[in-house]
Structure 1
């Protein structure tokens, strides 16, 4: 069986595909991944001997550039055009295409599958894009919902209208270029009849009753067996467990002194810090020996050995910290991150900061709660409830679908 996994987005969009690709290869399938041409994505796929088919510009460069919301339709048109070109070539001879990532990218990939007559699956790594009567949708930047509208079904109708206004022309122009008919409802087209939700049901429960037949597989995680760097091992062994601080693919544009604030807050608790550079480029604030800076690192191994994890609230980082039983402090920046921050707080396994710009005082207060013994006890208990077979289940479902 040949499978194409297609996405466009940040590390949180690519990393789950690495986990699924590894499982598919173990099952004897041939796998390719269409993703942005960023070096760290290519390295992760190279580690499992899966080829990266580059599509579009660097996700990191686009994120750091922070283009204005008004440019979204133009950027969507370029993303869809890039998908049609790259995915069409990569999908030739494939049996199944898995589409995820930002909505225009998924729409482009699904259009390719439709054109080539390939079975396709639409996947999301957070449930906020799936219409549900139990909660409202996220508003797109620059397109707020009317404050007087509170009925969730009405809000989801407005969400569909907003998506059509932002992406409809771009999608249908590109579809026409390959001989496909126009799509009337872009969101419904992308979600399809039976979308997959690749998140953990404890951390991210899909609520019933719902209007969609959702398949929740559990999170797709590649077991990471890479050793920690020798210098980091020595640092961990030299004292009490430190606090990890890292914001992943977030450039932290609203908080230019993020490293200063975080390290001072950690020191205020009498703790050492492991600071991850990430896309924010966090760096040492002085030459004191109580901080250790890391680049790409095995978070699965590291999070099990820290006192707490301070992060941005991406789906992957949240799941990894939860699986490790590490108390969390979430500093949400955008999109689904406030949702994950809220889930961490509601589960009692950490603290959600209010807003994207932490201060030394707010982060210190959050860390005091996260470092309390009772938070660690509950985080350890919740860790035992998290599924570990999400990628294996998804791989089997794809194999079964291809067999049919």
Structure 2
């Protein structure tokens, strides 16, 4: 079994002008596939003839004099760490030591308001942060110079949702404060979860974004030049951060497991427990095991789910990849994860992997046993890339069902 501390496989490419015809592909040139970044031509609003950010009457634009360094070596962002409070300096040092030199960057993250909407924003040093963005955006110096001038860069999704246009003054406010008017310098997909807006460090400080609440890290390579497994790397990150921080995997596992988990293997991997069973085929696992292993979380598309704690990050990553592929509307219902029972609720059968909370059923109404079902083939491919086995491949099909392989 392979587990990841993930949210999703996220990539980005170049920025575009505000004209819709500049986009191509499923959504936009700046949106890459789930695994391979697609280079794209980039453009941004030209530097303004007036100050980049026009202050609101009671707010002064922070002075921005930070030059943007040339792009050096690009870095693959393998793991994202986020925390409500600033990361302790000792943790930052320990985390940075896991990555090769230059393979870690801290930045600010938090919530701001545009009008009556809450928007997720990050405050970065454009010279260091750009190396962690995908091909196309990393090379777009105009984008990073825009941020250095004190302008704001928005994701395409945020730009569309908020009806933003390049060059306009955007009123951005910290909760409970007067807005700071910032010029929209570019539209770009950041590749970082929760980064609907990107601003520079000084602007972020003026907006009240807490410092060092997020960190990107690359796993790098071993002595033989082989890319380190990001799953193992994420585990090392988690050993430093503990439960105080969220650890998301931004790249797919190096390899996917192929062995089929049986009940015995599941017990070894996810913990053995005593249980009682009932004539209706349901099972009551030991309460101590449940408290230690079964957790609830809010995930993309599905909302609140209850599963094994080790599967939740991997499931989050797969579902986020479905969203990133533009297929979120293809999944209609969540039909169970942690459901302690025997297979087909028959006490004469083996214990279902739902008992460990390491299997999930979706869209049961149109994907019941014995039929081909309606599960979108690309969703199946995404889940397989994230280490899941699909019941639709079985001789007696169960296309609603995905389980950890």
The two structures have a TM-score, normalised by structure 1, of: 0.29
Higher relative contact order (CA 8 A, sep 6+): 2
Structure in which a larger fraction of residues adopt helix: 1
TM-score by length of 2: 0.29
Point out the structure with max Rg over C-alpha: 2
